[in-house]
Amino acid sequence: MVELTLYQFKQCPFCAKVRAKLDQLGLQYKMINVSHDRSDSLRKELVKNSSVATVPVLKMSWKGKETYLGESEAIINYLAENY
């Protein structure tokens, strides 16, 4: 089973759209609120792993492999096509 983690800002309309899609699909996911500070170590790690400097970022973990997907429309389209 794929473990989903959503990296987000607490008050972000794009993050809210992704949460709504995850909820609509009945998917279980963990949420992690990130700092608005782009020099924050977690933000830097997300940019490195997703190639996207914004949130939301969805991390998908399965069988020891992690895949990161950024930008709300890309995440929503991926979820719609694969779940």
Q: What is the pLDDT along the chain (83 residues), one digit of tens a residue?
A: 899 999 999 899 999 999 999 999 999 999 999 999 999 999 999 999 999 999 999 999 999 999 999 999 999 999 999 99
Please state whether the predicted TM-score (pTM) of the whole model is above 0.85: yes
pLDDT of the residue at 1: 84
Residue type, 27: L
3-state secondary structure (DSSP) of residue 57: strand
3-state secondary structure (DSSP) of residue 43: helix
Alpha carbons 44 and 69: distance in angstroms, whole number? 15
Domains in the chain (CATH in brackets) are: 3-82 (3.40.30.10)
Q: Are 36 and 54 in contact (CB under 8 A)?
A: no
pLDDT of the residue at 24: 98
Alpha carbons 37 and 77: distance in angstroms, whole number? 28
Residue type, 38: R
Q: Are 82 and 71 in contact (CB under 8 A)?
A: no
DSSP classification of residue 29: -
